[in-house]
Amino acid sequence: MTSLDQTSSEEAVLLTRGYRFLKKLGEGAYAKVYLAEYKPESDPERNSTLACKVIDTGVAPKDFVRKFLPRELDILVKLNHPHVVHVHSIFQRRTKYFIFMRYAEHGDLLEFILKNGEVAEGQARIWFRQLALGTDWKRV
């Protein structure tokens, strides 16, 4: 395993698809998130910085793998909204799912509030409206 918790074969598979992990951003009980670079061989000028959530079904609870993961994947493929992070691609290799998505370089809302303190009411209204619009599940 490398310092990025990848086997050499996983690294090779990612590279053939144009992806390379740069650093680990965070982790939970059975998923890790990496900063990744996307450079497809077919278009070397195209270069994107993405986040990749890697879910290891080998260590995840069986009820999560059976019930919740299929639902999460199904929703992620259907989501297309300006207020929701765009999913670039999803693929599975053995027990792991690789979910590549737009990298939110400024972090998430909780990080922002912890770093900057309370938010003015006008800004909070704007963000709350965007959050509500992004979670309008009738559109999924």
52 - beta bridge partners? 34, 100
90 within 8 A of 99, measured Cβ to Cβ:
yes
Q: Spell out the domain ranges in the chain.
A: 8-105, 106-140
* 53 is known to lie in a ligand binding site: yes
Residue 137 pLDDT class (50, 70, 90 cuts):
low
pLDDT digits (tens, 9 = 90+) for 53-102: 999 999 999 999 999 999 999 999 988 889 889 999 999 999 999 999 99
Overall size of the chain counted in residues: 140
* Structural fold of domain 8-105: Phosphorylase Kinase; domain 1 (3.30.200)
What are φ and ψ of residue 101, in 5° steps? -145, 165
